[in-house]
Structure 1
Amino acid sequence: MKSIYAPWRMAYIKSGKAAGCVFCRESLRDESYVLLDGKTAFVMMNAYPYTNGHLMIIPFRHLSRLEDLDQEERLEIFSLLDFSVRVLKEALNPDGFNIGINLGRAAGAGIDDHLHIHVVPRWNGDTNFMSVVGDIRVIPDDILKSCEELKGYFSKYRQEE
């Protein structure tokens, strides 16, 4: 049997499935994971990360298609993407990034009705035997601890703008 320590999952397991979108209803959006609120979009940690520091950039408006973004949202989302990459470079020193949008369930979107961009820091050798042989991803740091550390970086950069 495979066992992996993931204490942040217990809240999800014990909670009932809430109605509505987890990204746009204030009562559902977990504020403890939010790193930065912009004017039209926000940056938050992914509660089920692929690697340490896995972020998402999400428009406040509930929409699922790129073509539904207005110009102000497009500009801010890309600005937040740039901003997030700079923060992650300074805070975590990754060797590279995967940045992507999964449009639709067929494309791998876990939440397909609210557009969001994944920013995934990567390190040379971050795929080890656990991923290859055991089909298990190991996240080496506590997500809430990482979030608190990153909030300091986001706050610092925000003041410099």
Structure 2
Amino acid sequence: MADDAVRQRGAGEPDQLERLWTPYRMAYVRGDDRPSTSGSDECPFCHIPTLDDEAGLVVHRGTSAYVVLNLYPYTAGHLMICPYRHIPDYTDTTDEEVVEIGALTKRAMTVLRSVSNAEGFNLGMNQGQAGGAGIRAHLHQHVVPRWVGDSNFMPIIGRTKTLPQLLTETRELLAAAWR
């Protein structure tokens, strides 16, 4: 009887999936705070460095780039390395920015291994709309820690994605290890 009532309300067939509600992700889905390609005044990656480290989820500040936790992480500890300058493309970087982005990427991997025993990484920059960039206006490199089975068991069999720690706690742990 309950299944019939669900179908009649247009909710679809029962699928036996558990739901972990993450309403904070609606801002990401709607595209809130995504800047245009024209200016830096509305850019979250330009705004973050104006905040204190805790509020901005900043793990480390360098000379020409900084490291920040992804607000919508793929896995726990998902970091991004952003130049301070508002540039959209890797080819727009200076030699100094290239060197620092590389050094920060290397350090991020070392810190993530020490803190969370990451077994592997996905590193990358999505460039342009066709390249899948969520925020095309401001270059950022993803450093995504990975573990064997992290994306196989829970999402596919368990139908659940888990993040074991609040972002603020993750930021503090990584920032302390960075020092």
Aligned length: 153
Tell me: CA distance 1:89–1:129, structure 2 relative to 1, closer, same or farther (3 Å): closer
Please identify, of 124-133 and 114-123, the stretch whose mean Cα deviation from structure 2 is larger.
Answer: 124-133
* Aligned position for 2:141: 117
The structural deviation recorded for 1:140 is 2.2
Tell me the TM-score normalised to structure 1 length. Answer: 0.82
Q: Give the Cα separation in 2 of the matches to 1:79 and 1:108.
A: 24
Is structure 2 residue 90 aligned with structure 1 residue 74? no
Letter in 1 for 2:20: I
Tell me the TM-score normalised to structure 2 length. Answer: 0.74
* Aligned position for 1:23: 45
Is structure 2 residue 143 aligned with structure 1 residue 127? no
Tell me: CA distance 1:121–1:135, structure 2 relative to 1, closer, same or farther (3 Å): same
Give the fraction of aligned pairs with identical amino acids, expressed as a percent: 42
* Aligned position for 2:19: 3
The structural deviation recorded for 1:87 is 0.6
Q: Give the Cα separation in 2 of the matches to 1:28 and 1:10.
A: 24
Q: Give the Cα separation in 2 of the matches to 1:4 and 1:118.
A: 25
Larger radius of gyration: 2
SS of 1:99 mapped into structure 2: strand
- RMSD of aligned residue pairs (Cα, Å): 2.8
Gaps of 5+ in 1: 156-161
- Structure 1 stretches of 4+ with a deviation exceeding 6 A read 10-13
Gaps of 5+ in 2: 1-16, 35-40
Q: Report matched runs for 1:11-160 at 5 Å.
A: 17=33, 20-26=42-48, 31-32=53-54, 33-132=57-156, 137-155=161-179
Tell me: CA distance 1:120–1:27, structure 2 relative to 1, closer, same or farther (3 Å): closer
Q: Give the Cα separation in 2 of the matches to 1:122 and 1:12.
A: 22
Q: Give the Cα separation in 2 of the matches to 1:134 and 1:112.
A: 33
